[in-house]
Structure 1
């Protein structure tokens, strides 16, 4: 069972996890939400964990200092949609509208973030459904259902039944990144693994997949800094 201890002053919460498979202490600072976790071999003691963390405190704080700041989605905030920055602006409208440089929200709306999130999830579903259908047709393998979640550990998944799941936050990324994730998950309809054969399927669907894949690795964590 995981437990949480505090390190230093000001205190940093660190989640401790014992693992029968771990052969050494393994420290991780999430690039998504800044959570700090330490995995220990099953026989390691709390004293060992605390001593190890003390030697790594400067390293941990350095990583946390480089975490992107949180952006609250309210009128006046700037957020990306399909990779393009848009300013959230109040206007005389009854519905959220996406413009070239703005996201328009109803005047005096006290739940702008909630309204914008709902709008973006609908847009994400439309874009992902279109991309999935396009790649599935190209591959010659139909898929089942599409679902959207706000996942932090993965951008998409494909079940053995052929159902696809995506993070709706992909709508914030450049369009090529959303397309890459769709191609990646659809390719699993043919290869339920990450073998060379799988990556050949991805390349067949999207020959230039390496560029958006690298973008996601470098910048994907930043998509979670927007709080709706």
Structure 2
């Protein structure tokens, strides 16, 4: 099913905010949400709904939207000198203009070669590559413990969920999880691996999750507090 997105700046309580109108064939009603990654608003419209109707919903909830936007953590762009967390530990971005090899992690630094205009993409590629390696290995290890086998593991740039399990056994994780502490990654991976056996959140699912990871309570609390900041990285 198709999805069409248009973006514009809309005044919200005296300040301009980025609003994305997402027209989706799946949508049955107009909805809005805050997009922490972009620091804006997403209004989802059914195919026949008008932009005006979306703006009316935004106006109805204008105070709530303004409050949520104001409370978002500051963005953490990939710039020279920025301290980007990797496994929860700050790593300084250090340009190496004359070097070769893209970007890699060394002694709590992210070393980036090449011209300045390539720095952001190369840092993102480095973190995504690390996320793919480590989250795939963690998922394989936990699946083996449970006598399960994922079809494959994918790394995505998701904005509303940290992980997912498709009916065909495909696991997917947000690449920004590599920025979170190890115990948070451990819980999210264990949660999704448990879905390979139980595609629900019933008691058997939670029992298996707790067998696969001891960090459910602590990791859930950490994500509640720090998840929005993770989405502002990059």
Shorter-chain TM-score: what band?
A: 0.7 to 0.9
Which of 156, 161, 166 aligns to 1:159? It is: 166
Q: Secondary structure, in 3 states, of the residue corresponding to 2:107?
A: coil
8 A contact 1:17–1:37 mirrored in 2? no
Corresponding residue number in structure 2 for 1:79: 84
Equivalent residues in 2 for 1:1-228, closer than 5 Å:
6-8=10-12, 9-12=14-17, 13=19, 15=21, 28-36=33-41, 53-54=58-59, 56-91=61-96, 93-95=99-101, 96-106=103-113, 108-227=115-234
**SS of match in other structure, 2:231:** helix
TM-score, structure 2 normalization: 0.78
Gaps of 5+ in 2: none
Structure with the greater alpha carbon radius of gyration: 1
CA distances 1:6-60 after superposition (whole Å, capped 9, x unpaired)? 45433444759899977xx9764344434335689xxx99999767755643432
Unmatched runs of 5 consecutive residues or more in structure 1? none
Count of residues paired in the alignment: 225
Q: Secondary structure at the match of 2:223?
A: helix
Moved more, 171-180 or 50-59: 50-59
Distance, in Å, in 1 between the alignment partners of 2:167 and 2:90 is 37
